[in-house]
C-alpha cells in the first residue's frame, strides 16, 4: 500500500472513531443534545469516508446524516425509536469501517521468503505536551537574542579596554618601574576580555545550533505537509464528479506546504465541504459550457500556500458562478434580509455573497449527496472562525467562483519581538526578524533625501533604507527616532531586499497568542492581529513581509536604484547581468534559459506577463533586461511592455519582444510602445538574440 494511502487510512481510523464517540455522547444527553453538532459530525464523517474511498462507510454515513438533518430542522424528535435507529446506523458505520480495515485472506505459502513491508507506526501525542515543547523552543529563541545583546556588550567592553591601554601608553613617562604592574594588568584584562568574547561567540554558535535542532524536532512533531491531510482530495473530487455525471479536471498544488497538524486537521472537513461545493455548484450542462466558450470539463483548482505566518487555501471552479438572485431569495426566506421593494436597487454582490455562509442558506435546486441542505458553508465558516481565520467567497470573472481561506500556520503561541512606537507597543514574529540594530545616529547616510545605513549582510556592505515604523504604519512622514544619540531598528528581509525599521525602543521577546483584530480604522494589509498585554492596551501584531512590500510600493523609484538590495555571493562579479525570460511555453523558456546561461547571464523565468510584472515590481531582484513572448494568457507581451514603460521605476528596463508572427503591424506596434528589439521565432537564430542583448547591455 502506498505510504500516503496508508497514512490517510490511519488518520481516518482515528477520526471516524472520534466522530462516532462524540455522536454517542450527544445522544446520551437526551433533550440537551446539540443536534447541530450531531449533524456536523455525521456530515464530516461522510466526507472523510469519501476522501479515503470507502463507499460502504460513506453510504451508511449518508443515511446517518439524513436522519440527523431531520433532527436539526425539527421534523423529527430524539425519541426512543429515533435513538435506536441512530444507534443502529452508528453500528453500521463501525461495521463497515471495520470491514474496510480487515486483513485479506491468507495466501498459500510460497517457496520464496516474503519481503516484509516496513511498518509505519502511528502514535497519539498529547497536544499539551507538544505545546509545552513549542513554548520551550520559543523561550530558547529569546535566550539566543539575549546572547546577541551580551555579545555587543562584550565587544564594547573589549574596545574600551583597548582604548584604556592606548591612553596609558600615551601618558606613561619616567615612572615605568612603578607602573609596570598596572600596565601588565591592563594587558591581561584586554587579553581576558578578548578570550571571553571568543568563547562567547563559540557558545553562541553552539546555542544557535541547538536551537536549530530543537526547532526542527518540534516541527517534525507539530507540523506536517498538507499532503498528509489533503492528499486524497483530488481523488475524492473525481469520484464525486463521476457519481454526479460531471466531467472534471482537478488541479491541486502546494501540498508540500507545511503547517501545524492541528490546523490542517481542523481544516480537513471545511476544505472537503468547499471542494464538494465546487463540484455541486460548478456543474452545468455541456451545451451551456460550450456556448460560454469553456472547455468540456469543469475545472476545480485547489492551491495551498504559506506566507507571513499564515496558511492560505484557495479553491476555485470555472462553473456558472454564484447565483445571486437565488442567494437573495434564500437569504430573504431565512430572515437574513428584508424583501426588496419593487424598483429598489439590488444589494451588492459582496453583501449577498456574505450570506452564503449563514446556516440553512442554499441555492441548490434539490437535496442530494452533494448539496441542498445549506449547511456545508456554515460548517466551514464556523471552523475557520475557531481558528481565528478569514473566509471570503467571490464571483469569478467572467464566470466561476472562488473561495479564499486563510488561517494562522500554527495554533500555538508565537515568539514575538515587542517594540515601542511613540509610546505604544507593537509585535513582530521573531522568526521574521533578520537582525536587531542599535546604531550611532551619526552613522546614518542620506540617499536621494532619505535616511539609510550601511549594514554588513552576508559579508557585503549593503546600503539599507532606514524607515520610521510609525511612518510606514500611518502613511504620514516622520523623522527617524533618535534616543541618547542612537537609533534602534529591526532589520527585515523580503527575498534579497532589506529594510531597517526604526523604532523608539526594542522592548522584549516573549511567547504570546496572536488574536484576530477587527478594526476598520487600521491597515489590515500590515496587521496580522493583536496581542493582549497585562494591564495594557493590546499590542498590534505586524506582518514583516507586508511591511517590506509596503515600502517597495511607496518608494518604488527609490527601490529601483538598488537601495536595500543585497547581491548573492555568486553574483559578486559586477559584469553579471540578470535577464527575465517571459513565455508561457515551458519548452521555449527552457531553450532561452540554457542559451543565456551559457553566455554567463543570470536568468529568471515568468510564465506570463502578469507573473513578470509582479516580479519586476516586487523588488526581489534587480532585472537588467526582459525577453518576452507576445501571445500569453492573462497579460500578453504588448500589455506587459506598456505597463513597464508607463512605470517610472521600470521604464529604463530594456524589453525585447519575441513572437511566432512576423506581422509588420505587430512589429510597428511593439516598437511604438517602446520595445528595444523585436525578434520572430520563425527565423529564430540565437546569435540574433545574443547580439541584441549585447547591444542593449
SS (H, E, C) 375-406: CHHHHHHHHHHHCCCEEEEEECCCCCEEEEEE
Report the CATH superfamily, name and number, of domain 569-696: Response regulator (3.40.50.2300)
Sequence-ordered list of residues with C-beta below 8 angstroms from that of 496, at least 6 positions apart, any chain: 565, 566, 567, 568, 620, 621
Which among 389, 384, 380, 381 has a CA at the least distance from the CA of 407? 389
Burial of 647-683, coded b for 16+ CB within 10 Å and e otherwise, reads: bebbeebbbbbbbeeeeeebbebbeebebbbbbbeee
Fold classification of 227-408 is: Heat Shock Protein 90 (3.30.565)
Averaged over 553-578, what is the pLDDT? 63
- In the structure, what pLDDT confidence band is assigned to residue 352 with cuts at 50, 70 and 90? confident
Q: What is the pLDDT of residue 115?
A: 40
Distance separating alpha carbons of residues 647 and 473, to the nearest angstrom = 25
- The answer to whether the bond into 197 is cis (omega within 30° of 0) is no
- In this structure, the strands spanning 248-253 and 298-307 are parallel
Helix (H) or strand (E) holding 541: strand 539-542
Residue 26 has pLDDT above 90, yes or no: no
Q: Let me know if domain 415-560 sits in CATH 3.40.50.1820.
A: no
Q: What is the pLDDT of residue 567?
A: 59
Averaged over 263-286, what is the pLDDT? 89
Domain segments of the chain as ranges: 3-101, 137-224, 227-408, 415-560, 569-696
SS3 at position 620: coil
Q: What is the pLDDT of residue 540?
A: 85
Return the percent helix, strand and coil in the chain, to nearest 5: 50, 20, 30
More confident residue, 205 or 327: 327
Q: Which range has the worst mean pLDDT, 255-264, 272-281, 284-293, 574-583? A: 574-583
Averaged over 630-639, what is the pLDDT? 80
Residue 300 has pLDDT above 80, yes or no: yes
Residue 580 has pLDDT above 80, yes or no: yes
Averaged over 457-486, what is the pLDDT? 86
Averaged over 467-473, what is the pLDDT? 90
Residue 117 has pLDDT above 60, yes or no: no
Q: At what angle do helices 609-618 and 544-554 cross, to 10 degrees?
A: 90
44: phi > 0 → left, psi -120 to 50 → alpha, else beta; which?
alpha
CATH class of the domain comprising 3-101: mainly alpha
With cell 500554527, the residue in question is 410
Per-chain mean pLDDT for the chain: 77
The three grid cell numbers given for residue 256, joined into one nine-digit string: 508540500
Distance separating alpha carbons of residues 571 and 600, to the nearest angstrom = 11
Distance separating alpha carbons of residues 222 and 25, to the nearest angstrom = 29
Distance separating alpha carbons of residues 330 and 360, to the nearest angstrom = 8
Which among 267, 211, 17, 47 has a CA at the least distance from the CA of 122? 17
Which among 525, 572, 571 has a CA at the least distance from the CA of 552? 525
Averaged over 493-513, what is the pLDDT? 82
Distance separating alpha carbons of residues 220 and 655, to the nearest angstrom = 46
Question: What is the dihedral angle through the alpha carbons of 645, 651, 653, 656, rounded to the nearest 10 degrees?
Answer: 20
Distance separating alpha carbons of residues 144 and 155, to the nearest angstrom = 17
SS (H, E, C) 654-678: CEEEEECCCCHHHHHHHHHCCCCEE
C-alpha distance from residue 34 to each of 65, 77, 78, 653 (Å): 14, 12, 11, 64
C-alpha distance from residue 194 to each of 164, 190, 207 (Å): 14, 6, 20
More confident residue, 108 or 449: 449
Q: Please give the span between the terminal C-alpha atoms of the chain, in angstroms, as a whole number.
A: 56
Which among 27, 71, 72 has a CA at the least distance from the CA of 360? 72
Question: What is the dihedral angle through the alpha carbons of 63, 67, 69, 75, rounded to the nearest 10 degrees?
Answer: 150
Which among 619, 630, 626, 678 has a CA at the least distance from the CA of 653? 626
- In the structure, what pLDDT confidence band is assigned to residue 693 with cuts at 50, 70 and 90? confident
Q: Which residues pair with 313 in a beta bridge?
A: 304, 405
Residue 685 has pLDDT above 70, yes or no: no
More confident residue, 671 or 171: 671
Q: What is the pLDDT of residue 456?
A: 80
pLDDT digits (tens, 9 = 90+) for 146-189: 565 566 666 767 777 777 777 666 666 555 555 666 677 677 77
Q: Which of 361-375, 473-487, 511-525 reaches the highest mean pLDDT?
A: 473-487
Residue 547 has pLDDT above 90, yes or no: no
Query: Are 447 and 466 a contacting pair, CB within 8 Å?
Result: no
Q: What is the pLDDT of residue 379?
A: 76
- Calculate what percentage of the chain has a pLDDT beyond 90: 6
Distance separating alpha carbons of residues 602 and 571, to the nearest angstrom = 9
Q: What is the pLDDT of residue 625?
A: 92
Residue 301 has pLDDT above 90, yes or no: yes
The three grid cell numbers given for residue 287, joined into one nine-digit string: 451545451
Amino acid at each position: 500500500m502506498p505510504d500516503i494511502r496508508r497514512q490517510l487510512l490511519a488518520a481516518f481510523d482515528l477520526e471516524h472513531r472520534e466522530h462516532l464517540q462524540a455522536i454517542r455522547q450527544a445522544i446520551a444527553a437526551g433533550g440537551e443534545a446539540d443536534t447541530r453538532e450531531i449533524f456536523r459530525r455525521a456530515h464530516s464523517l461522510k466526507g472523510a469516508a469519501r476522501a479515503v474511498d470507502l463507499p460502504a462507510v460513506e453510504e451508511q454515513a449518508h443515511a446517518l446524516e439524513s436522519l440527523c438533518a431531520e433532527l436539526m430542522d425539527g421534523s423529527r424528535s430524539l425519541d426512543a425509536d429515533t435513538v435506536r435507529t441512530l444507534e443502529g446506523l452508528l453500528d453500521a458505520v463501525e461495521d463497515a469501517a471495520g470491514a474496510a480495515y480487515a486483513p485479506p485472506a491468507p495466501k498459500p505459502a510460497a517457496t520464496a521468503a516474503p519481503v516484509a513491508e516496513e511498518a509505519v507506526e502511528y502514535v497519539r501525542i498529547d497536544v499539551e505536551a507538544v505545546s509545552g515543547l513549542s513554548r520551550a523552543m520559543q523561550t530558547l529563541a529569546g535566550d539566543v537574542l539575549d546572547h546577541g545583546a551580551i555579545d555587543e556588550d562584550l565587544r564594547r567592553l573589549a574596545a574600551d579596554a583597548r582604548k584604556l591601554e592606548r591612553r596609558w601608553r600615551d601618558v606613561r613617562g619616567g615612572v615605568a618601574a612603578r607602573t609596570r604592574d598596572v600596565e601588565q594588568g591592563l594587558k591581561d584584562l584586554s587579553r581576558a576580555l578578548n578570550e571571553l568574547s571568543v568563547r562567547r561567540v563559540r557558545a553562541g554558535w553552539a546555542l544557535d545550533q541547538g536551537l536549530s535542532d530543537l526547532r526542527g524536532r518540534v516541527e517534525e512533531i507539530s507540523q506536517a505537509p498538507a499532503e498528509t491531510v489533503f492528499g486524497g482530495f483530488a481523488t475524492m473530487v473525481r469520484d464525486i464528479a463521476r457519481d454526479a455525471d460531471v466531467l472534471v479536471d482537478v488541479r491541486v498544488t502546494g501540498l508540500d506546504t507545511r503547517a501545524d497538524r492541528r490546523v490542517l486537521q481542523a481544516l480537513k472537513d471545511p476544505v472537503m465541504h468547499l471542494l464538494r461545493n465546487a463540484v455541486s455548484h460548478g456543474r452545468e450542462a455541456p451545451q451551456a459550457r460550450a456556448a460560454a466558450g469553456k472547455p468540456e470539463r469543469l475545472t476545480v483548482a485547489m492551491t495551498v500556500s504559506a506566507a507571513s505566518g499564515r496558511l492560505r487555501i484557495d479553491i476555485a471552479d470555472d462553473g456558472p458562478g454564484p447565483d445571486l438572485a437565488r442567494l437573495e431569495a434564500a437569504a430573504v426566506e431565512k430572515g437574513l434580509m428584508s424583501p426588496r421593494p419593487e424598483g429598489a436597487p439590488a444589494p451588492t454582490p459582496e453583501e449577498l455573497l456574505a450570506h452564503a455562509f449563514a446556516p440553512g442558506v442554499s441555492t441548490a435546486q434539490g437535496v442530494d449527496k452533494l448539496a441542498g441542505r445549506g449547511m456545508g458553508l456554515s460548517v466551514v465558516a464556523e471552523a475557520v472562525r475557531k481558528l481565528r481565520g478569514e473566509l471570503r467567497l467571490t464571483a469569478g470573472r467572467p464566470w466561476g467562483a472562488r473561495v479564499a481561506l486563510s488561517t494562522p500556520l500554527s495554533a500555538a503561541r508565537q515568539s514575538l519581538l515587542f517594540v515601542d512606537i511613540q509610546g505604544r507597543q507593537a509585535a513582530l514574529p521573531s522568526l521574521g526578524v533578520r537582525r536587531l540594530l542599535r546604531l550611532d545616529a551619526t552613522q546614518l547616510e542620506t540617499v536621494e533625501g532619505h535616511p539609510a545605513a550601511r549594514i554588513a549582510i552576508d559579508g557585503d556592505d549593503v546600503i539599507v533604507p532606514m524607515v520610521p515604523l510609525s511612518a510606514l504604519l500611518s502613511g504620514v512622514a516622520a523623522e527617524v527616532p533618535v534616543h541618547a544619540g542612537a537609533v534602534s531598528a529591526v532589520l527585515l528581509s523580503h527575498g534579497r531586499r532589506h529594510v531597517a525599521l526604526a523604532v523608539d525602543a526594542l522592548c522584549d521577546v516573549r511567547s504570546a497568542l496572536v488574536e484576530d483584530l477587527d478594526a476598520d480604522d487600521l491597515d489590515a494589509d500590515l496587521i496580522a492581529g493583536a496581542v493582549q498585554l497585562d494591564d495594557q492596551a493590546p499590542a498590534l501584531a505586524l506582518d514583516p513581509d507586508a511591511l517590506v512590500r509596503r515600502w517597495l510600493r511607496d518608494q518604488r523609484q527609490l527601490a529601483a536604484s538598488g537601495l536595500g538590495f543585497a547581491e548573492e555571493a555568486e553574483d559578486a562579479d559586477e559584469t553579471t547581468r540578470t535577464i527575465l525570460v517571459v513565455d508561457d511555453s515551458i519548452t521555449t523558456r527552457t531553450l532561452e534559459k540554457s542559451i543565456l546561461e551559457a553566455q554567463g547571464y543570470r536568468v529568471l523565468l515568468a510564465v506570463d506577463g502578469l507573473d513578470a510584472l509582479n516580479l519586476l515590481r516586487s523588488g526581489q531582484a534587480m532585472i537588467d533586461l526582459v525577453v518576452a513572448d507576445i501571445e500569453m494568457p492573462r497579460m500578453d507581451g504588448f500589455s506587459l511592455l506598456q505597463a513597464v514603460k508607463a512605470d517610472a521605476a521600470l521604464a529604463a528596463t530594456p524589453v525585447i519582444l519575441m513572437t511566432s508572427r512576423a506581422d509588420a503591424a505587430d512589429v510597428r506596434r511593439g516598437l511604438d510602445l517602446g520595445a528595444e528589439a523585436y525578434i520572430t521565432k520563425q527565423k529564430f537564430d540565437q546569435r540574433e538574440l545574443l547580439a541584441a542583448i549585447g547591444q542593449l547591455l
